[in-house]
Amino acid sequence: MILRQLALRQGRRVFIPSASRPWIRFLNTEIERTNITVDNANEANLDYIGSQTDIPIAPIEETGESLVSSSYTMWLNQKKQTAHLGSTLDPHYKPHTLINRPPSPKDVTLELLMASQAHLGHATSLWKPQNQRYIFGIHQGIHIISLDITAAHLRRAAKIVEAVCERGGLVLFVGTREGQDRCVVNAAKLAGGCHLFERWIPGSITNGQQILGRCKMKVVDDLGNEIEGYEEQLIDRATLKPDLVVCMNPLENYVLLHECGLNAIPTIGIIDTDADPTWVTYPIPANDDSLRCVNLIAGVLGRAGEEGQKKRQAAALKAGFTGPSPNRKAGDAS
Amino acid sequence: MSSKRFSPTANLLRTSRLFSLPPPLPRPLPELTSSTTIHSNTATLPFPTQAAITTPQSSLCRGDWGLKRPLPLKSTTATSTPVIRIGAIDTWEHITDFDSASDHVLTLRKWQEMHIPISALETRRPTASMISRPIYGPHRSVFEPEQDSTQPNPGDPTVDARRWKFGGPWLAGRTEGEFNRYLSREIRRRRIEFRQYIRKHALAKKAAEKRRMDIEDGKVSETGERSNASDEISEDELRSYIISLRNDKTTLNALIHSFLDLPAPPTLGLSASNHGFGTNSKPARSMYSETGPPKTHPSAGLSYLRTSSHIQNHPLLGPQASPSPVQARILIPRKSVLSNYNVAKLGLGGVVCRDSVPASFREDRLPNGTPGISKLDPSIPGGAKLWVHPSRASIDVEGRIKLETVRANPMAIAIHEGKVFEQDARPLSPSPRRMPSLTSTTSLQHRYGIEGLKQSNLAGGENDIESHRRSHKRGWNGTRGSVRDSELGAVYQKLDELLSSEGSKTI
């Protein structure tokens, strides 16, 4: 049946080149050989098809559908039908998913950390002895960071980020090394915070009025919508300071961490074996050179921040309280 | 060592790929000769000493090799063979020390493509001189059970002689300092163990002695049950046996050799008995006596094929007598500044080997000679090359690859280059293929397969002896396949008769 419909759909042009090849012989073994020429090929075929089916088939006028388009349609159809065939190699490592769909804190396993090269410390001669408690051993001339300690510290840091976001705090993600920009931006987007992937201008916290004084500030409600009417109150207000700083490369950002320390801003940082863990409040002992490891940690912390934001917004919607109104006295800049 | 003893982290780390990287082998030492040798620290080593690692394409373009830090894209992606070896994961300068491993990786790929089985080393040293080629016996694979032996096998001296792995060191290859260190560090602490070993040996000897006495006294028949009466030996007996051993150097040496599992020492010019080796109890001679046991398995993992007894099938022409030839680069022609030998040196599959045809005449001046073989010809684009068949490969005790080649069959070259049909001006349609009429066994040579086809085409289907002679003069193809000609001749004669009786000569 399908064959016949196909033959009809092809139109007259299809049968002309096949006149030399006995089409009818191809379809039926018992038919008598008729003298088919190029001129009467179509008629002969249609006669034959009409004789084989009960439903009378009217000869189709040439629709103008070319062989090319019909074979293209056939190819598309075939592709659609065979698309599900074959095997898939899943799950396997896809590097881009670490940025696009980062894992959440509950997905952090020792295997994932090891695959992300979180355990590789620096050469043994470069170590800071304060990191001794994070170091598992020495292999191939480098210190190996204990993965269970990394996992525990990463989960603790994720809880902190989540709690800060849940309370409406501002999280600043900092990664100023080459290649860390995407993961930092993505994490800040997820956590609803800020990001920094270029140089930290020294004094942005301690001397913020001079450096960031001209920057725009706005008042938002709990769902992140801007609330109008606070403009004159914001003029004399001090610049914003982050409530939590997450630093991917503490070695290059000593000034930032020092300023945070002076202003009692908690900090989270990836501490490799050559970094000083006392620079940050909550160290995550891991490999800060591997981009994959940094992507993973930034993604996990970003997911944690996203979770915190969701909780806060859910609570706000439940309570029916979506932020201060301009008529009330208290202003909340967030 | 059960894995339950370790923490989850330790288990994970122990099974990780990075930790599975073997430590690098010691670099091969330059040859200790008095002659001037050209040595380079950056030259490709004769064998790889470090594992080569690779990474998937998606990680490669991110520089992710599973190491401490991403590797620079410029040096790792601008190559067709992105494989590296790691010197150090991290260094004092905060860099990962890596190097391209494409040299050995490409060599291995070329060898896998050439399908060469590794032959066992010859027991007797082949006579190698500048002119005459070393003469080898038939191919014996290194994977044959009698070749691939690592366990002591006192029952079979021929197998034992081919043993390539020993527990103890090869003492003849040690310096005096190394030997003294071996004595003080390793031998000294095995004293008690050796005493137990001697006790066991004394017990066996005592039991044999007792059995002999019993047989002599007629208590036990020779085929009877072995008595296990004397399974005790007193300290006094043992002491007196040890004192007797000190005078019996033959037995003592054999005991020491089997206890320490030492490789056989080299044969000395003096008679063996002077050194305490009797005729029956001396350690077995080994094929590695002179050179020491090999550094690797005799195949070195280069090829796992046992034979090269396979026939290449051409899609149009059918089974071929000779495999596809491979192109070798002429590294040093016969006459050059570097050497004045009569044998050219070729580079094939990353290995230097000798040309199979030693000659002092100017081969490149012959009508069909190889250009650039006798003298350096700078006009050849890309350097002079030569088609050869790799014939025999083995790994010497130093781990170096020894490769022997023969000149390629001219017809095999023509088939490989696709020039057969060009010459005949008959593209893609060799039929009707005519069986060569086999009037004589000498003319049969190279008449089957493509040769026969070509000859029949050249001579218009007739047997033309002159054309045969021409083809013989053209190269070295006359040296191959002459053994089986008489048998094959009979077969073809029969076939020819059969076909002609049916009135059809086509196949």
How close does chain B come to A145, measured CA to CA in Å? 10
- Residue B278, pLDDT > 60, answer no
Report the alpha-carbon distance of residue A42 to residue A15 in Å, rounded. Answer: 6
C-beta atoms of A146 and B9 within 8 A = yes
**Which residues of A fall below an 8 Å CB-CB distance to B?**
93-96, 110-111, 114, 117, 119-123, 125-126, 136, 139-142, 144, 146-148, 179, 287, 289-292
- Residue B88, pLDDT > 90, answer yes
C-beta atoms of A126 and B92 within 8 A = yes
Please, are residues A192 and A334 in contact by the beta-carbon 8 Å criterion?
Answer: no
* Chain B residue closest in CA terms to A135: B9
B350: helix, strand or coil: coil
**Residues of A with CB below 8 A from B17's CB?**
none
Phi, psi of A29 (to 5 degrees): -90, -20
**Residues of B with CB below 8 A from A112's CB?**
none
Confidence of residue B366 (pLDDT cuts 50, 70, 90): confident
Which of B59, B64, B90 has its CB closest to that of A123? B90
The reported pLDDT for the residue numbered B428 is: 45
Which of B8, B59, B88 has its CB closest to that of A148? B8
The reported pLDDT for the residue numbered B440 is: 42
Count CB pairs under 8 A between chains A and B: 78
Number of H helices, E strands in chain A: 13, 10
The reported pLDDT for the residue numbered B360 is: 66
Instruction: Sketch the domain layout of chain B as residue ranges.
Output: 3-101, 115-124+297-408, 157-275, 424-501
* Chain A residue closest in CA terms to B63: A291
- Residue B56, pLDDT > 50, answer yes
Report the alpha-carbon distance of residue B285 to residue A202 in Å, rounded. Answer: 79
Above pLDDT 70, what percent of chain B? 72
Please tell me the least confidently modeled range out of A314-328, B19-33, B154-168, B430-444.
B430-444
State the DSSP H helix or E strand holding residue A69, giving kind and residue range, or none if neither: helix A67-82
Report the alpha-carbon distance of residue B484 to residue B158 in Å, rounded. Answer: 32
**Integer angstrom CA distances of residue B335 from A24, B330, B344, B353, B361:** 75, 12, 8, 16, 10
Confidence of residue B442 (pLDDT cuts 50, 70, 90): very low
Which of B12, B16, B70 has its CB closest to that of A291? B70
C-beta atoms of A136 and B10 within 8 A = yes
**Residues of B with CB below 8 A from A94's CB?**
58
* Chain A residue closest in CA terms to B14: A139
Phi, psi of B378 (to 5 degrees): -75, -5
pLDDT tens-digit map of B234-261 = 888 889 999 999 888 888 988 998 899 8
**Residues of A with CB below 8 A from B67's CB?**
117, 120, 290
The reported pLDDT for the residue numbered A59 is: 52
DSSP state of B299: T
C-beta atoms of A290 and B68 within 8 A = yes
pLDDT tens-digit map of B368-389 = 788 888 888 889 998 999 999 9
* Chain B residue closest in CA terms to A142: B90
**Which residues of B fall below an 8 Å CB-CB distance to A?**
7-10, 12-13, 16, 18-19, 21, 56, 58-59, 62-64, 66-70, 88-92, 94
C-beta atoms of A120 and B94 within 8 A = no
* Chain A residue closest in CA terms to B61: A95
Going by C-alpha positions, the residue among B385, B402, B391, B410 that lies closest to residue B327 is: B385
Q: What CATH class does A97-319 carry?
A: alpha beta
A310: helix, strand or coil: helix
The reported pLDDT for the residue numbered A157 is: 97
**Residues of B with CB below 8 A from A146's CB?**
9
The reported pLDDT for the residue numbered A306 is: 96
How close does chain A come to B25, measured CA to CA in Å? 14
Q: Which of B7, B9, B89, B97 to mutate to test the interface with A (most CBs of A within 10 A)?
A: B9
C-beta atoms of A139 and B13 within 8 A = yes
Above pLDDT 90, what percent of chain B? 32
C-beta atoms of B90 and A146 within 8 A = no
Please tell me the least confidently modeled range out of B9-13, B188-192, B335-339.
B335-339
* A320: number of Cβ within 10 Å: 6
**Residues of A with CB below 8 A from B66's CB?**
117
What angle (nearest 5°) sits at the alpha carbon of residue B289, between those of residues B285 and B295? 125
**Residues of B with CB below 8 A from A126's CB?**
90, 92, 94
**Residues of B with CB below 8 A from A110's CB?**
8-9, 12
Please, are residues A175 and A239 in contact by the beta-carbon 8 Å criterion?
Answer: no
ipTM of the complex as predicted: 0.70
**Residues of A with CB below 8 A from B56's CB?**
93
**Residues of A with CB below 8 A from B91's CB?**
123
Tell me the two tokens of residue A15: 């049968």
Which of B9, B16, B59 has its CB closest to that of A95? B59
How close does chain A come to B167, measured CA to CA in Å? 27
Which of B68, B91, B92 has its CB closest to that of A287? B68
* Chain B residue closest in CA terms to A121: B68
DSSP string, B374-431: SB--TTSTT--EEEEEEEEEEE-TTS-EEEEEEEPPHHHHHHHHT-HHHHHT-TT--P
**Residues of B with CB below 8 A from A96's CB?**
58
Confidence of residue B161 (pLDDT cuts 50, 70, 90): confident
How close does chain B come to A297, measured CA to CA in Å? 15
pLDDT tens-digit map of B464-505 = 444 444 444 333 333 333 334 444 455 445 545 544 544 433
Higher pLDDT, B302 or B456: B302
C-beta atoms of B8 and A141 within 8 A = no
DSSP string, B24-67: PPPPPPPP--SS-----SSSPPSS--S--B---HHHHTTT--SS
Confidence of residue B228 (pLDDT cuts 50, 70, 90): low
Interacting residues of B432 by C-beta distance below 8 A, sequence separation 6+: B505, B506, B507
C-beta atoms of A120 and B63 within 8 A = no
Which of B12, B62, B63 has its CB closest to that of A114? B12
Confidence of residue B439 (pLDDT cuts 50, 70, 90): very low
Residue B118, strand partner residues: B393
How close does chain A come to B182, measured CA to CA in Å? 27
Which of A96, A119, A142 has its CB closest to that of B13? A119
User: Could you list the mean pLDDT of each consecutive 10-residue stretch along chain A, which spans 334 residues?
Assistant: 49 48 46 50 56 52 73 93 87 89 94 94 95 94 95 97 93 95 95 94 92 88 86 86 95 96 96 95 96 96 96 88 48 40
Which of A95, A123, A289 has its CB closest to that of B92? A123
Instruction: Sketch the domain layout of chain A as residue ranges.
Output: 2-82, 97-319
Confidence of residue B124 (pLDDT cuts 50, 70, 90): low
